[in-house]
Structure 1
Amino acid sequence: KTGYQNMEIQYDYALGMPLKHKLMPQYLSELGYETHGFGKWNIGHCNEKYMPHMRGFNHFLGYFCPGHGYRDYICGLEAGVKDMYEGFNDEVSGQTWGTGEKYQGTYDTELYRDYSSRVIRKHAKTFGNSTNHKPLFMWVAHHAAHGTYDSEPNPPDSLMTDENQKYIAVLKKREDEASESGESKFFGKRLITATLIMSVDNALKDLVGALEETALMNNTLLLVNSDNGGDPNYAVGHPGNNFPLRSEKFYYFEGATRVPAFIFAPGMIPSALQGTTFSGMMHHVDLLPTFV
């Protein structure tokens, strides 16, 4: 409907997802949900009406560009734009937004992990097991493992487990061996990709931990999916690998469009169906009519 399927909206683009298209948080907000968003927006910010806090989110902390620095949030090498935004639209804060300059220096996966977990704990503390429980919708679009202007993003220790560190040590050893033998720096590039994937895995683990800690997990539906296949030819940063699927990000073959996804809802999905696999077609456009 929009023609944006293979285009990224840059920091200085005067366009966005048309306002006539109603988004999922707008529907859910009308249904009484408290709505929070974290991470990548990238569907338009040329006017305040296009920003997340005006399109259904009570609170949104994230960025507008296709990608930015993991700690300095710089988007657009030529302009040096620091891209981090926080917006509110609720009874307490009203309709307001500003730059997220105070967060600069915090690794963004860690930032979204901490704030999303904080929302869960605050929600549980406010409503508990009340019969007037206000439902919560939270959308977390991590920057990782996206390409970046940082040559080596280096996730903080809080996002890496001991097991991760042992695996990284093995990869570093293999990289050194490849360097000595004159092989390409492929292993070094893949090492960066591996650390970014691990950091997202652990951020998700901590989010689930917050849901379990607050006894909300059994009344929660958690959907996790990737947005596109990797780009093995990434000129800046770190490459992906879609083998055995054909092609890559920005194209229309399976290497670009077929990605992992799962639903975890232990209190909603019957035990007989837990662990089952669906290999048919599913697209993110199916989610709105399914959930709303």
Structure 2
Amino acid sequence: MMLTVLVALLHFFTFLASAQQKPNILYIIADDHGWNDVDWHDPTLHTPNLNALAHSEHTVQLDRAYVNQLCSPTRSALFSGYYPYHLGTQHGVFQKLEPSGVPLKYSFFPERLLTLGYNTYIVGKWHLGYCKHDYLPTKRGFQKFRGYYGGAEDYYSHLTDGFEEGTKEEGLDFFHDTPHTFAADWSKEGYYSTQLFANESINFLRSHDSQRPFFLYLAFQAVHAPLQIPPLKYMEGKCSHIKRRHRRVYCGMVNALDDAIGSVVAELRALDLYKNTIIIFGSDNGGQTLAGGNNFPLRGNKNTLWEGGMRINSFVHSPANIKRHEVRTQLFNVVDWYATIMTMVGEKMDEYGDGINQWEMIVNNSMKHTRRRFVYNIYDKSAAIREGDYKLIVGKPGEPSGWIPPTRKVDYASWQDKSQKHWLFNVKHDPNERHDLSARKPKLLHRLMLQLRKWSTSAVPSIHKATDERGSPKYFNGTFASGWC
């Protein structure tokens, strides 16, 4: 009996020792944050904390980082390692009252992290399905959740008014979940969500058992519409010089986001967690120019196949692994994070799903696993793929399709769809997609069209479903709760 106990204790302490050696990971994702929404691209903005992180000696910037053109497809690809067109999430976002979610047959990488001794936390936005408990974050690898299930809501009341949500019913969408409890939280009314999510993240860090590594997924609501002015300190002086109102309010929202990120990083330092924490930053898609966001000089907008809809600001900051600031120009797709993060934590994985491990590329500029091609998206009658320096778009890329500086008001009528059916760009030499090469390079166009056709054969049908009144807030004490499908 004594021997059995000693063996068990030995295994336990061995587990703790190995867990301590693993890095913490803080994954920060902004919402609708455009290419031109940082002060090193647009100096009229104020993002000193992001700037300091992005240009630190311990940071590698991913200059060719790509996601999907919309929120739910990107987040499903991030956690599963599969392209949205292989998951059924390629056609759009999950709506309120939609009886669907990312299929449960696809495991999310936080589930693996749990088996390696990680504590896993999520703060902020989920947007991957919520109608039944099995779709929720605390059933897909996270131990604790503070945030909202849907796609958009009021920054202060945390009620959703139906904005981009498929319903005009109003209800609370803010929850405090564990794997076995799912509780609406009405106590956060009046707290601006950007600051609220930073504070909730700090609370998790303070209560975290430092003997175990953590994965914290901090999914800000900012800077998604609705345009809601943050506390005045984020507007006064730092944004008053911007003449266009939408961009001025947006500037304040970006400034609040930057300050929130700075406060979380400061807490990592205060708790002596900073040196062993890998910080990843990115966005879920390009900026929404109708709501103050901007992607200039890239072409297009959120929800388009143009570069402005899918190329993002992204970086990896790691004091323990990166000793010199560098900018990587290799291609990186959101599906690569699964294998890359698993390799970060010691579970070397050359590839997973549609993604590849790019940790050695990030840290050592290794060319061993180099991405040469990827699918932007394949959906409806539109698609875009990348092979080397070349990008093929087939069908309607989406609107607005022009080049929109931050000083200009967007006019959709001026960017009407043309009769053109396909475009070909060399995005290495023409990153702003101004020179269509489809007529000049017919052989290359034909080859890429064949490649697209080949990839399209593995597409699965959309998993999206019509909204269902069973989930109405009137049945759940005024909340958009789970457990009805």
- Do Structure 1 and Structure 2 share a fold, with TM-score over 0.5? yes
The one-letter amino acid of 1:279's match is T
The one-letter amino acid of 1:64's match is Y
Q: Which residue number in structure 2 is paired with residue 207 of structure 1? A: 264
Unmatched runs of 5 consecutive residues or more in structure 2: 1-85, 163-167, 343-485
**Equivalent residues in 2 for 1:2-81, closer than 5 Å:** 2-77=87-162, 78-81=168-171
* Distance across 2 between alignment mates of 1:3 and 1:248: 23
The answer to whether structure 1 residue 155 and structure 2 residue 230 are counterparts is yes
- Partner of 1:32, secondary structure, is coil
Q: Which residue number in structure 1 is paired with residue 341 of structure 2? A: 291
Size of the alignment, in residue pairs?
252
The one-letter amino acid of 1:255's match is G
The one-letter amino acid of 1:248's match is N
Q: Which residue number in structure 2 is paired with residue 280 of structure 1? A: 330
The answer to whether structure 1 residue 198 and structure 2 residue 255 are counterparts is yes
- 1:230 pairs, out of 259, 266, 287, with 287
Q: CA deviation at 1:104?
A: 2.0
Q: Which residue number in structure 1 is paired with residue 217 of structure 2? A: 139
Q: Which residue number in structure 2 is paired with residue 167 of structure 1? A: 238
**Preserved CA contact (<8 Å) 1:74 1:80:** yes
* Distance across 1 between alignment mates of 2:329 and 2:186: 43
Please provide the CA RMSD for this pair: 1.5
Report which structure shows greater RCO (CA 8 Å, sep ≥6).
Answer: 2
Q: Which residue number in structure 2 is paired with residue 246 of structure 1? A: 299
Q: CA deviation at 1:3?
A: 2.9
- Partner of 1:278, secondary structure, is strand
Q: Deviations over 1:163-186 (max 9, x none)?
A: x63222323xxx3xxxxxxxxxxx
Q: Deviations over 1:74-131 (max 9, x none)?
A: 2243101221112113xxxxx11111212122111111101111221222xx43xxxx
* Distance across 1 between alignment mates of 2:87 and 2:320: 37
**Preserved CA contact (<8 Å) 1:217 1:267:** no
Q: CA deviation at 1:226?
A: 1.1
- Partner of 1:5, secondary structure, is coil
The one-letter amino acid of 1:191's match is R
Q: Which residue number in structure 2 is paired with residue 107 of structure 1? A: 192
**Preserved CA contact (<8 Å) 2:154 2:161:** no
Q: Deviations over 1:245-290 (max 9, x none)?
A: 1111112121111010011111222x2xx21001221122111111
C-alpha change, 1:134 and 1:157, in structure 2 (3 Å) is farther
Q: Deviations over 1:36-92 (max 9, x none)?
A: 001110010010111111111110111111111101112243101221112113xxx
**Preserved CA contact (<8 Å) 1:11 1:76:** no
* Distance across 1 between alignment mates of 2:250 and 2:329: 26
Q: CA deviation at 1:13?
A: 0.5
- Partner of 2:94, secondary structure, is coil
* Distance across 2 between alignment mates of 1:68 and 1:167: 26
- 1:85 pairs, out of 155, 175, 190, with 175
* Distance across 1 between alignment mates of 2:114 and 2:108: 10
The one-letter amino acid of 2:261's match is L
* Distance across 1 between alignment mates of 2:95 and 2:175: 15
The answer to whether structure 1 residue 116 and structure 2 residue 201 are counterparts is yes
- Partner of 1:280, secondary structure, is strand
Q: CA deviation at 1:243?
A: 1.1
Q: Which residue number in structure 2 is paired with residue 180 of structure 1? A: none
- Partner of 2:181, secondary structure, is strand
- Partner of 1:145, secondary structure, is coil
The one-letter amino acid of 1:170's match is H
**What percent identity do the matched residue pairs reach?**
29
- Compute the TM-score of the two structures, normalised by the length of structure 2: 0.50
- Partner of 1:282, secondary structure, is strand
- Partner of 1:279, secondary structure, is strand
Q: Which residue number in structure 1 is paired with residue 275 of structure 2? A: 218
State which drifts further: 41-50 or 1-10.
1-10
**Preserved CA contact (<8 Å) 1:41 1:64:** yes
The one-letter amino acid of 2:216's match is M
**Preserved CA contact (<8 Å) 2:276 2:320:** yes
**Preserved CA contact (<8 Å) 1:219 1:268:** no
* Distance across 2 between alignment mates of 1:16 and 1:248: 26
Structure with bigger strand share is: 2
4+ residue stretches of structure 1 with deviation over 2 A? none
**Preserved CA contact (<8 Å) 1:230 1:249:** yes
C-alpha change, 1:157 and 1:220, in structure 2 (3 Å) is farther
State which drifts further: 278-287 or 136-145.
278-287
- Compute the TM-score of the two structures, normalised by the length of structure 1: 0.82
The one-letter amino acid of 1:266's match is P
Q: CA deviation at 1:6?
A: 4.1
Computing the radius of gyration over CA atoms, which structure comes out larger, 1 or 2? 2
**Preserved CA contact (<8 Å) 1:231 1:249:** yes
* Distance across 2 between alignment mates of 1:197 and 1:206: 14
Unmatched runs of 5 consecutive residues or more in structure 1: 90-94, 128-132, 176-186
